[in-house]
Amino acid sequence: MNALPQEGPAIDGAFLRRWLDAATQAVDREADHLTELDSPIGDADHGANMRRGFLAARTAVEQEPPDTPGAVLVAVGRQLISTVGGASGPLYGTLLRRAGKELGDEPVVTAARLRDALRAGVDGVAQLGGAAPGDKTMLDALLPALDALTGALDAGGSTAQALAAAATAADEGAEATTPLRARKGRASYLGERSVGHRDPGATSAALLVTALADTAREASA
């Protein structure tokens, strides 16, 4: 098993269960905003779908708490696939299930190990959706987050510092989707009319990364 870094909380099953609670609260709080973003370029249901999926995931994990980080991510991904409508369920489900399977049965992981697992999940999202950076999708938040996480860890940052950098990059990436023309998903059917609207999927992805950063910051306090 990888040694834990000198600075930062242990990333174990309890850590990711706390992340799930933080993510669920964030999605619930921002659900109306996500739907507002989805209204002009999607089906106006992203917020409601994400809220339903994360509430169901939190309930399932509370009823049978998984012991390991990988098991938490797999359980959440499974619930999202079964309860979130549209494309978001399969995409977020793939992200988390693949990341969880990449972590395997390790009881505690480093931030670098989590980063590698999330990258495997993001690769799965790209493969499933056929999207690339700049296509105005959740990848435009997730890929900058992974790059920032890598840069911060390589520079010797703690887990909390690295995840904070990832959260900032994810939000900036989501904001940067506003002037883009959508090339994948429902919004791509609008062509030039998709320009000028922040992507709801990138925005919800940034919320999940921010929840990771908040969890690490609180654990380090």
Q: Domains of the chain: which residue ranges?
A: 11-220
> 11-220, what's its fold?
1.25.40
102/119 Cα distance (integer angstroms): 10
Residue 190 confidence class, pLDDT cut points 50, 70, 90: low
- Which residue type occupies 60? A
- Which residue type occupies 220? S
How much is the pTM?
0.93
C-alpha distances (whole Å) from 102 to each of 38, 65, 108 are 31, 19, 13
Question: Which pLDDT tens digit goes with each residue over 147-174?
Answer: 999 999 999 999 999 999 999 999 999 9
| pLDDT of the residue at 68 | 97
Q: What is the DSSP string of 165-207?
A: HHHHHHHHHHHTTTTSPP-SSGGGGGGGGGTTS--HHHHHHHH
| pLDDT of the residue at 2 | 38
- Residue 154: CB atoms within 10 A of its CB come to 10
Question: Which pLDDT tens digit goes with each residue over 62-112?
Answer: 999 999 999 999 999 999 999 987 889 999 999 999 999 999 999 999 999
| pLDDT of the residue at 156 | 95
CB 101, CB 71: distance < 8 Å: no
